[in-house]
């Protein structure tokens, strides 16, 4: 099952308005008077990265008695994406 990504978080493009070819972000050649578009990271990854910062800065009991330890990277990364998925779902609610 594919997850909703929320679309691009930081799309950008390189415009080559000059008379000579230039290199793009991926090393490709951008011919004069053309552009190359880049989608950037997706919104789900951006949300997960921000959630991960919070998860890694906190390790302790919360009011519900659950304990979070950042000693298991796979579990912490999974939690970050759970938060990201919840944030994407919340965006479409009225």
Q: Quick one: average pLDDT of 66-78?
A: 75
| pLDDT beyond 80 at 66 | no
- Give per-residue pLDDT as tens, 51-64: 999 988 876 655 55
CA distance 49 to 53: 6
Tell me how far CA of residue 65 lies from CA of 3, 33, 41, 60, in angstroms: 30, 60, 35, 9
Q: Determine contact, residues 40/53, Cβ cutoff 8 Å.
A: no
Q: Tell me, what's the pLDDT at 70?
A: 56
């Amino acid at each position: 099952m594919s997850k909703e990504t929320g679309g691009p978080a930081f799309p950008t493009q390189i415009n080559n308005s000059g008379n000579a070819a230039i290199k793009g972000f991926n090393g490709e050649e951008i011919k004069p008077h053309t552009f190359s578009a880049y989608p950037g990271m997706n919104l789900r990854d951006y949300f997960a990265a921000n959630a991960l910062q919070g998860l890694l800065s906190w390790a302790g009991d919360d009011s519900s008695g659950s304990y979070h330890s950042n000693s298991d990277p796979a579990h912490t990364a999974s939690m970050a994406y759970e938060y990201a998925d919840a944030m994407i779902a919340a965006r479409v609610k009225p």
